[in-house]
Amino acid sequence: MSQQVNSNLAALRNFKVLTFDCYGTLIDWEKGILVALKEIGIVDEDNQRLLGRFANVEHVVQEEEPGLLYPQVLSRCADKLAETYNVKISDEMRSKFGASVQFWPPFPDTPEALQRLQKHFKLVILSNVNRDSFALSEKNMNAKFDLVCTAQDIGSYKPDLRNFHYVLEKVQQHFGAEKPQVLHVFQSLFHDAVPATAMGISTTHIDRRFGMEGGGATPTPSEPYTLNYYFK
């Protein structure tokens, strides 16, 4: 249920602000998640199945308890996955998984790409984490974003449209940029493509899962979306 639009890359100069999802787009969260789960004894012979189960429980927790900070979300996910895999985990193990974001690695091309893009655009984060977790990831990316908007700031998690209303308001306040001057960049079709399309925000899909089946650590979208730019 997708529509992909072929666009002229030269048109990118019409944008003033790039809003980025972080985890899955700039940070290799699937690698980080699998390593962190293995460290607390939760494994599956099929990594894609484990990531899919993580995707489902994470969305349920975020939807049911949008006020939780992301480390708490991860701890809840650890509990649910431990139950699924019949693994007993301690409070220490739950907390360890909750704090694992700081160890999730950037994709190798992330630091250089951000440095190049920052010469031409304002760079903004719109992420489903908390401020402290993102600050550690920002250091790992050797980057400094012009504006950071997290689920902690907003009180809800993507794909909630409130997150996109919030970031549009902030980029207008900080940079004087209107919606047509904003390009949203992401991996997750579920968390980003669908709501950005609903909001009329231009979209760029960075397909970090090119050649792999399924959605990995993100649910598969059931609603329509438009991709204005596509990179793999």
What is the spatial distance between Cα 202 and Cα 196, in angstroms, rounded to a whole number?
7
Residue in 21, 28, 160, 192 annotated catalytic:
21
Q: Is 21 one of the catalytic residues?
A: yes
Q: What Cα–Cα distance (Å) separates residue 200 from each residue in 6, 110, 178, 191, 192?
A: 17, 26, 12, 15, 12
Using alpha carbons, select from 148, 155, 122, 146 the residue that is nearest to residue 133.
Answer: 148
Q: What Cα–Cα distance (Å) separates residue 209 from each residue in 15, 150, 206, 222, 224?
A: 26, 24, 9, 18, 19
What is the spatial distance between Cα 187 and Cα 205, in angstroms, rounded to a whole number?
6
* Catalytic site positions: 21
